[in-house]
């Protein structure tokens, strides 16, 4: 993190990345002195509500973050930035997205958790767009031009007010990671009781095992003897996911829970054991994953955009990859047999051990689709089949030998 005093004193000349968070309410014009070098500008967690037209002078600017500010309109000045590729304005109060606000080279647009009801038709005129995050808005329709987004790979539409399934995106040729739960068009009255409900007094939370957009996962211990819970045959080692309760980058926690329960259990999925009976807290009890499992991949970065990464020294044999892909294919079939789209099939959401056994988790972007037409259901499955193929491609990028046998062929 940098400071305004450093900026104003000229101490930051030549830097490529600038981060300022000091309750700023007006754009510091001294930023323009960095025009010859600045590529990433992070103005998140301030009180900004506008940007000057002069920001277009930042000719090398590729990425701008302005989350948690006071914008009600996505600034039109962004559209004039010649090199801008990534725009992140999460958690503002944006209601309006002007036609001219979208940069010509846009690859990645994050407008999660705003108040947007309508998007401009110019969105479909951004052919380089790969990643589009719109969860937690008030969209009732999508631009008809979105059918032109032939490079779009990840789309988050959850927690909006879409009344009809957006047909214009279902045929996009590269779309692979798709989240749409929490909209009227896919509302479900199905009550899923695949696991029992128990009281929160049954266990005690221990240390944090991990956390993500939708909640925190704790190690937990039972407060009652196993005999008291014998009717459920719960394992002794458990974890508890406590959902945060608000809309996330992927959608509503309640939709995640329902999709997770609808899928049920599978050898290669994190095992759900019970829901928690509590008036103000949404929680899910799960089997504790053995400690020797570790993450298969790293999440995408700004450069890779939608694709997973691996550490430089990481590799897998063709035999290991064949086994992992066979298991992931079985997970895919199980998900779609239960009419659930995971929405986030990635190596970084997969755990593995030395025997190449995998466990898939993180249902934050999952969407049930049993209420859609047969044709729409088929297209949703086809979309996720691309994620499965990308998963295979990413693993093959770290393959140490030949001999991979693709179970999809």
Give the mean pLDDT of the chain.
93
Listed range (2-16, 207-221, 224-238) with the worst mean pLDDT? 224-238
160, part of any domain: yes
**How far, in Å, CA of 300 to CA of 207, rounded?**
27
Mean pLDDT of 171-200: 90
Please report the pLDDT score of residue 404 as a whole number: 80
Please report the pLDDT score of residue 229 as a whole number: 66
Greatest mean pLDDT among 56-60, 234-238, 260-264? 56-60
The CATH number that applies at residue 135 is 3.80.10.10
pLDDT, greater one: 264 or 94: 94
The CATH number that applies at residue 279 is 3.30.200.20
Mean pLDDT of 371-376: 97
Q: Are 42 and 158 in a shared domain?
A: yes
Q: Tokens at residue 29, please? A: 């014009």
The CATH number that applies at residue 368 is 1.10.510.10
The separation between CA 355 and the C-alpha centre of its own chain, rounded to angstroms, equals 29
Q: Are 262 and 379 in a shared domain?
A: no
Please report the pLDDT score of residue 249 as a whole number: 73
Q: Are 212 and 305 in a shared domain?
A: no
Region of 251 on the Ramachandran plot (φ > 0 left; ψ -120 to 50 alpha; else beta)? left
Mean pLDDT of 195-212: 89
pLDDT, greater one: 379 or 277: 379
61, part of any domain: yes
Q: Are 148 and 258 in a shared domain?
A: no
The answer to whether 283 and 242 are in contact (CB under 8 A) is: yes
Q: Are 229 and 155 in a shared domain?
A: no
CA atoms within 13 A on the CB side of 229: 19
> Does 97 score more than 70 pLDDT?
yes
Please report the pLDDT score of residue 228 as a whole number: 64
Residue range of the domain that includes 206: 197-287
Q: Are 181 and 63 in a shared domain?
A: yes
Q: Show which of 287, 319, 349 is a domain's final residue.
A: 287
Q: Show which of 153, 186, 219 is a domain's final residue.
A: 186
404, part of any domain: no
> Does 298 score more than 80 pLDDT?
yes
Number of neighbours of residue 337 by Cβ within 10 angstroms: 11
Confidence of residue 227 (pLDDT cuts 50, 70, 90): low
Q: Are 29 and 149 in a shared domain?
A: yes
144, part of any domain: yes
Please report the pLDDT score of residue 210 as a whole number: 87
192, part of any domain: no
Q: Are 23 and 146 in a shared domain?
A: yes
Please report the pLDDT score of residue 91 as a whole number: 95
Share of the chain above pLDDT 90, in %: 79
Buried residues in 303-316 as b, exposed as e (16+ CB within 10 A): eebbbbbbeeeeeb
> Does 380 score more than 80 pLDDT?
yes
Q: Are 46 and 132 in a shared domain?
A: yes
Please report the pLDDT score of residue 253 as a whole number: 84
Please report the pLDDT score of residue 202 as a whole number: 87
Residue 141 burial class via C-beta count within 10 angstroms: exposed 0-12, middle 13-18, buried 19 and up: middle
> Apex CA 261: angle with CA 256 and CA 263, to 5°?
100
Please report the pLDDT score of residue 230 as a whole number: 67
Q: Are 249 and 299 in a shared domain?
A: no
401, part of any domain: no
Q: Are 276 and 316 in a shared domain?
A: no
Q: Are 176 and 211 in a shared domain?
A: no
13, part of any domain: yes
Buried residues in 74-94 as b, exposed as e (16+ CB within 10 A): bbbbbbbbeebbbbbbbbbeb
133, part of any domain: yes
Share of the chain above pLDDT 70, in %: 98
The answer to whether 45 and 26 are in contact (CB under 8 A) is: no
Confidence of residue 234 (pLDDT cuts 50, 70, 90): confident
Mean pLDDT of 54-68: 98
Listed range (115-129, 193-207, 343-357, 385-399) with the worst mean pLDDT? 193-207
Q: Show which of 186, 211, 231 is a domain's final residue.
A: 186
The answer on whether 60 is annotated among ligand-binding residues is no
C-alpha R_g of the chain = 23
> Does 407 score more than 90 pLDDT?
no
**Which among 307, 341, 347 is positioned nearest to 325, based on CA atoms?**
347
Mean pLDDT of 80-89: 98
Mean pLDDT of 90-109: 97
Q: How many domains does the chain have?
A: 3
């Amino acid at each position: 993190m940098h400071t305004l005093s450093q900026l104003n004193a000229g101490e930051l000349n030549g830097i490529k990345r600038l981060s300022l968070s000091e309750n700023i309410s007006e754009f510091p014009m001294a930023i323009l002195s960095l025009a010859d070098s600045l590529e990433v500008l992070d103005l998140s967690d301030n009180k900004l509500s506008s940007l000057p037209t002069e920001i277009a002078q930042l000719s090398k600017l590729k990425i701008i973050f302005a989350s948690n500010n006071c914008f009600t309109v996505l600034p039109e000045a962004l559209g004039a930035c010649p090199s801008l590729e990534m725009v992140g304005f999460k958690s503002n109060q944006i209601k309006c997205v002007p036609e001219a606000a979208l940069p010509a080279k846009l690859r990645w647009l994050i407008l999660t958790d705003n108040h947007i009801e309508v998007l401009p038709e110019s969105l479909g005129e951004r052919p380089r767009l790969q990643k589009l995050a719109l969860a937690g808005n008030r969209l009732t329709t999508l631009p008809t031009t979105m059918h032109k987004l032939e490079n779009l790979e990840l789309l988050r539409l959850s927690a909006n007010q879409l009344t009809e399934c957006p047909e214009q995106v279902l045929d996009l040729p590269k779309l692979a990671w798709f989240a749409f739960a929490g909209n009227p068009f896919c509302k479900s009255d199905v009550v899923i009781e695949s696991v029992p409900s128990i009281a929160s007094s049954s266990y005690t939370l221990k240390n944090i095992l991990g956390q993500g957009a939708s909640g925190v996962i704790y190690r937990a211990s039972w407060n009652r003897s196993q005999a008291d819970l014998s009717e459920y045959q719960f394992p002794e080692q458990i974890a508890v996911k406590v959902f945060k309760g608000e809309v996330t980058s992927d959608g509503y926690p309640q939709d995640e829970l329902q999709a997770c329960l609808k899928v049920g259990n599978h050898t290669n999925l994190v095992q759900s054991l019970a829901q928690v009976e509590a008036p103000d807290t949404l929680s899910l009890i799960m089997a504790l994953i053995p400690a020797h499992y570790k993450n298969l991949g790293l999440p995408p970065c700004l450069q890779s955009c939608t694709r997973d990464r691996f550490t430089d020294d990481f590799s897998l044999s063709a035999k290991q990859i064949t086994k992992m892909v066979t298991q992931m294919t079985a997970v895919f079939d199980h998900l779609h047999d239960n009419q659930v789209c995971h929405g986030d099939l990635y190596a970084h959401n997969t755990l593995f051990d030395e025997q190449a056994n995998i466990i898939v988790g993180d249902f934050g972007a999952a969407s049930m689709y049993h209420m859609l037409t047969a044709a729409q259901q088929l297209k949703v499955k086809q979309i996720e089949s691309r994620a499965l193929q990308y998963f295979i491609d990413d693993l093959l990028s770290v393959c140490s030998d030949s001999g991979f046998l693709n179970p999809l062929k």
